[in-house]
Chain A
């Protein structure tokens, strides 16, 4: 076997191993986001006031007594676009069950400015104007507290008492979890 053939075979082997690793990561990590840290289940959500893109402020008092999905996302994030499309399909159903969605752009999009949140919201269509869907921007302090590992797609399921009852990422892939929460908030 010549040296060129040997190198070529090793290159092939490395590529295959790398491809396998990527595949494993792609399959494993979206489902593992919830288990790998963040605010733990059972903890109370910090009493933050969120700055909304329509200029209003969403206060803890306004959320008190209402279950909601607190979703932190970056506007360049592709799974957040997919997740927004799925939320748009179900927002009326969530409203009927008394569930709100608080969708917050993480501070400075984790270091890489994506499209404006307003454009992101516009892409969601008419459903984005639903009164139970709040669009806002998390401050630096809020991002650090709610998303300490800097994940670009992370949500918390918060019950009527303000306690976290579940956490995950990629709503489009994990919608069944949100649907279960909505059925029994």
Chain B
């Protein structure tokens, strides 16, 4: 926790403050806005602003955590790069993984994607009838779990970025 506080304090201090604010506010808002539309898109059946009518409080919270959490990771990495000359590994991949995983239910359920992919792979029609529902239902019925895991991954990536950030500071001080 101390590392996280130290990393946040450093990231939101001069000289990185202006860049941090731009990254968090602009990138975070853009990603959050995308998820506000993308998360209820599964209920609508298309990625459209019309999906907002199905938006739930939980999805708003998830969108904010995913968007601003990922922006914070980028801001920390940018601050780390500015101070010590190198991006931190691991946190970015986890964050991107989280962002992608949260899109799986709305992308892969209830669309012709899976039946068409199975057909393209040469799977027979009777097998598609028996199995395509299994895949799609898995994504549909576990959508909340997918989003929860995604939030966990993004939060973990924030912590990892903070850990690497503060570790980097110590190493840089030793080198000097």
Contacts and interface: CB of A to CB of B under 8 A. Distances in A.
Interface of A: 4-5, 8, 11-12, 15-16, 18-19, 22-23, 25-27, 29-33, 36, 74, 76-83, 85, 107-112, 114, 143-144, 148-153, 169-174
A111 B129 contact: yes
B17 interface: no
20 contacts: A19-B103, A23-B103, A25-B108, A25-B113, A30-B111, A78-B43, A78-B109, A78-B143, A82-B43, A107-B129, A111-B134, A143-B129, A144-B129, A149-B128, A150-B128, A152-B132, A169-B111, A170-B45, A172-B45, A173-B50
Given A79-B110, A150-B132, 18 more contacts: A11-B93, A15-B93, A15-B97, A19-B103, A22-B104, A30-B111, A77-B109, A82-B45, A110-B133, A110-B137, A111-B130, A150-B115, A150-B125, A150-B128, A151-B112, A152-B109, A170-B110, A173-B48
A103 to B, nearest CB: 15
Interface string B99-121: 11001111111111101100100
Given A150-B128, A173-B44, A77 B112 contact: no
B93 A32 contact: no
A153 B92 contact: no
A170 to B, nearest CB: 2
A12 B93 contact: yes
Contacts of A18: 100
B27 interface: no
Contacts of B106: 26, 78
A74 B116 contact: no
A7 to B, nearest CB: 9
Contact of B115 (A32, A149, A173): A149
Interface in B11-53: 38, 41-48, 50
B96 interface: yes
A30 B45 CA distance: 6
Nearest to A38: B112
Contact of A15 (B100, B112, B138): B100
B96 A12 contact: yes
A172 B50 CA distance: 9
A109 B133 CA distance: 7
Nearest to A80: B110
The DSSP consensus for interface residues of chain B is helix
A53 to B, nearest CB: 19
A11 to B, nearest CB: 5
A108 B129 CA distance: 9
The 10 closest A-B pairs by CB, nearest first: A170-B45, A110-B133, A79-B45, A112-B137, A173-B46, A82-B43, A111-B133, A76-B137, A79-B110, A173-B45
B136 interface: yes
B113 A76 contact: no
Contacts of B59: none
A153 to B, nearest CB: 5
B93 A8 contact: yes
A12 B73 CA distance: 14
B125 to A, nearest CB: 7
A100 to B, nearest CB: 22
Contacts of B137: 74, 76-77, 109-110, 112, 114
